Amino acid sequence: MTTHESLENSKTSETPCATLPLEQRIEALLFASERSLSETKIKTVLGYEDEDATKKIKEAIDALNSSYDSNSRAFKIERIAGGFRVMTREELAPLVSRLHAERQQQKLSQAALETLSILAYRQPVMRAEIEVIRGVACGEVLRGLMDRRLVKIVGRAEELGRPMLYGTTKEFLNIFGLANLKDLPDVQGLVREPSWKPAKQVEETESNDESPESPEVAEQTAE
């Protein structure tokens, strides 16, 4: 065992918090995190390696939610983007929205929302297809969505020039409070089977989200 591993083990096994109830420790992690935490991440931070760890974590989260319900708390733990996150209850959303009115002024533009909606429902999708639906060029809008880490390049289509295909990111799920894309509400006319076949899918990694490529550069590269 390396010195680093020894230090890490000592952090999880010798600190006083290791003796605290599992529910309390998980609750602390979820409140401290700005993003959803996967079961794997929770197990790693807690220093759990046994086979029953996943079951214990789920039971602890269920117990926390039961406690929140019985005490009429304003929040609950939900599955979001493949992990767990503390969320304000839906009925309190209008109240929270008023609190963050100033932040809402910096929300996505109408053009960005339209582009993101088309992309979310029809992904993987080519830039040209989005432009046909919207009737305007969307290179600048796509770049903005990629800068916000809401959109990324996911592959290429088997079309002339092999244009790039775009899809949404985990950050998109986080921002809109979705566990996965199946949670998107049904919207007539937006869902369809692609007429082209993806030539290559880019493996989803954190680097894809963190280093977005300019749509213009991507399309030029494809040519």
Distance CA 173, CA 175 (A): 6
The two three-digit tokens of residue 101, written as one number: 């009115």
Q: Could you please report the per-residue DSSP string of the chain?
A: --HHHHHHHHHHHSSGGGGS-HHHHHHHHHHH-SS-B-HHHHHHHHT--STTHHHHHHHHHHHHHHHHHHTT-SEEEEEETTEEEEEE-GGGHHHHHHHTHHHHTTSPPHHHHHHHHHHHHH-SEEHHHHHHHHSS--HHHHHHHHHTTSEEEEEEESSTT--EEEEE-HHHHHHHT-SSGGGSPP-TTT----SS-EEEEPP--HHHHHSPPPHHHHHHHH-
Could you tell me which residue, 147 or 216, shows the higher pLDDT? 147
Q: Whose CA is closest to 48, among 12, 3, 15?
A: 12
The per-residue pLDDT for range 9-62, each reduced to its tens digit, is: 544 445 667 889 999 999 999 999 988 999 999 999 999 888 789 899 999 999
- For 50-78, what is the mean pLDDT? 94
| pLDDT band, residue 4 (cuts 50/70/90) | very low
Percent of the chain with pLDDT over 70: 72
Which pLDDT belongs to residue 14? 52
The CATH number assigned to the domain with range 11-92 reads 1.10.10.10
What pLDDT is stored for residue 206 in this prediction? 39
Stretch 83-100: mean pLDDT? 82
Whose CA is closest to 57, among 69, 46, 66, 71?
46
* 192-198 average pLDDT score: 50
C-alpha torsion 117→122→124→128, nearest 10: -80
User: Mean pLDDT in the chain?
Assistant: 79
Domain 107-222: top CATH class: mainly alpha
- Residue 108 in this model has a pLDDT that exceeds 60: yes
Residue ranges of the chain assigned to CATH 1.10.10.10: 11-92, 107-222
* pLDDT tens digits, 154-185: 998 888 888 899 999 988 887 787 888 888 88
pLDDT digits (tens, 9 = 90+) for 117-141: 999 999 999 999 999 999 999 999 9
Of 158, 149, 118, 147, the closest CA to residue 134 belongs to 118
Q: Is the pLDDT of residue 7 over 80?
A: no
State pTM to two decimals.
0.50
* Longest Cα–Cα distance in the chain: 62
